Each structure stands twice: as C-alpha cells, then as structure tokens.
Amino acid sequence: MSQHPNSPIVVWISLILWLISVLAILWSLILFFYVSDILFLTGTDLVNAVVLLTAIIMLPPNFYQLQAIANGNKIELHTANVFCCRLWTCIVWVIILNVFGIIVCIMRIFSCEEVTSSYLTNSIKQYRTVPKHRQFIDKLQWSLGCCGLKSYKDWFSQDWHDKLRDFEWISTNDRNTNSINGVETDSVPFSCCKSGSCVSSYLKELGNHSINTRGCFNIVHSCIIVSIIMHLIMFIIVILLEILLLKHIMHKENKVIGFKKFGNKFNIRHIMSVNDNFDASSDSYVINEEDSEIDSSNAYCGEK
C-alpha cells in the first residue's frame, strides 16, 4: 500500500476548514433571513457579513484541497490554481479577512453596550410611528420574555399607543404633551405578556403578575456579546489552522526539494564519469598485458 502524499495533519486540517466554511455560510444565511432586523438594529450585521464573506472565500481552496486528497494527489501551494489565483494566495487572503473579522469583533465588543442601548431606546421611541421598529420590539419581547429597556416601567413614559383605548380619561392634548406635563400611563404593549392574553393596562392598580417585568437590554447585550465572542473564536481558529496548513505543506515541499538537491549533488556520475557508449570489445578493458596473455593461454589449454 503506497503512502499518501499529504500528511494526516494536512488532511484533517483541510476537512475541518471545509466544515467550518460550510457551517459558517449556513449560519450566516439563517441569521440574515430570519433575524435580519435584529442584526441591523443591534449593529451586528457587519460581523455577520464578514463571517459570510470569509466563509465564501474559504470554500474554493478547501474544496480543491479535499479533491486533491480524495484523488491521492499532493497539495501544491505554488502551482495549483484556484479559479484565477494560486492556492497560497487564496490562503493568505483568507487569513487577512479573518484578521479583519477579529478587528471588527473587538470593536463591536467595546461599543456593544452603547450601540445596543441606543438602538433599543430609539426603537421604543418610534414604536408607534415606525412599523419596522414596532415589529422589532414585539419580536424581541416575545422571544426573550422581556419588557422595556431596563424595566417594564420604561413604557409608562413613552407615547406608544395607537389609540386612547387604555386611558380614555386623558385628553388628546395631554397625550401629545405627556412628557412635558409629566403624565404617565401604566400600560405596556401586548408583547410584554407572559401568555397570549393578560392584563397589560392599569398595572399600578391591577398588578404586573401577568407580564414580563425584566428589561430587554441586559438580555440583548449578553446575547450579542456571546455571539461576537463565538465569531471571534472562529476567526482565531481559522487563522491558526490556515497557518498550520501552510507550515506543514511548505515543510514537506522544502523537504522534497532538499532531497532532490542532495541527490543531484552527490550523483555518482559527478564522482566518476562513465562512458555510456563504452564498447565492450575495446582495448581499454585490458588493464595489464601480461595478465591478458596468461588468461589467453589458460583458455587455450582448456579447449584442448
């Protein structure tokens, strides 16, 4: 059984990188299709875009590596073409994009608290007037079981109602100027309810037992930080694996090149030249004339 031209480490790294690229593409597309509004409104869309771009660029070189391994061919860094680039160029670009992803993740971690608070506050303020923000807040409060920014009481100071259904006793002028006159409503959106139906109005009199009372900020902030850290770890792992892959392939190539140079340098033809077209009947085979005569006489006696 012939030995495989690629080392087991190269084979395993290629397989792991291919799996990471496929899973990263699927994960990024799922996030874009199902929670795109949350990504855009929380400022994590850039991180997800970098993940998707990196995974797409990783896929062709990883596919070439697996194809070469499956066919029993050696992975060539400097001669193999992946589309219009050499394999080593593709790997270098993958490393650069992952470094950029690390920078974006670190920037998002440091600015996450401020950006998240700003987006949530702005969405709550525009809950009544902008349908996009209404859908975002309702989906967020339903899925995470939270209400308001820091507490459900944040809704009391917001003019989020479409109608005066929960506080008919307040005039329209008072409703439009409630922030000035200090008028507060003790009502929250229905997305704050623990179940499909609950008491979401007159909470000061009836109590808040049927609604979620904890705020959404801490939950959203924690989810974003965990997501960014996971992406950061993925970028670091990909960089380490790509560098390790380059190291092992180049080490084996240098080993083969060094062996060829060693063989050419110590070729026996460089030590003693031999005439390949040497004629066996040539007189140059005769080393000593006396020995030649003795051999001839012995041969003659043998014939007799």
Count, in order, helices (H) and strands (E) of the chain.
11, 2
Domain that holds residue 71: 1-145+217-254
Q: How confident is the model at residue 79 (pLDDT cuts 50, 70, 90)?
A: low
Looking at the structure, do residues 11 and 71 belong to the same domain, yes or no?
Answer: yes
**Residue range 186-244, pLDDT digits in tens:** 888 888 988 767 888 888 888 888 888 899 999 988 988 998 999 999 999 999 999 98
Counting the structural domains of the chain, the total is 2
Looking at the structure, do residues 44 and 89 belong to the same domain, yes or no?
Answer: yes
**Least confident segment among 73-87, 142-156, 255-269:** 255-269
Looking at the structure, do residues 101 and 238 belong to the same domain, yes or no?
Answer: yes
Looking at the structure, do residues 56 and 197 belong to the same domain, yes or no?
Answer: no
pTM of the model: 0.69
- The 3 state secondary structure assigned to 241-277 is HHHHHHHHHHHHHHHHHHHHHHHHHCCHHHHCCCCCC
Identity of the amino acid at 108: R
**pLDDT averaged over every residue in the chain:** 75
Looking at the structure, do residues 125 and 83 belong to the same domain, yes or no?
Answer: yes
Residue 116: inside a domain: yes
Looking at the structure, do residues 24 and 84 belong to the same domain, yes or no?
Answer: yes
3-class SS of residue 214: strand
Instruction: Answer with the one of 215, 235, 262 that is the final residue of a domain.
Output: 215
Name the nearest CA neighbour of 119 among 41, 217, 224.
Answer: 41
Looking at the structure, do residues 37 and 69 belong to the same domain, yes or no?
Answer: yes
Tell me: pLDDT of 119 over 60.
yes
Looking at the structure, do residues 46 and 22 belong to the same domain, yes or no?
Answer: yes
Looking at the structure, do residues 129 and 190 belong to the same domain, yes or no?
Answer: no
User: Which tokens in the block code for residue 273?
Assistant: 């030249």
Distance of alpha carbon 102 from its chain centroid, rounded?
10
Token pair 């996450």 is found at 112
- The proportion of the chain whose per-residue pLDDT surpasses 90, expressed as a percent, equals 18
Distance of alpha carbon 60 from its chain centroid, rounded?
14
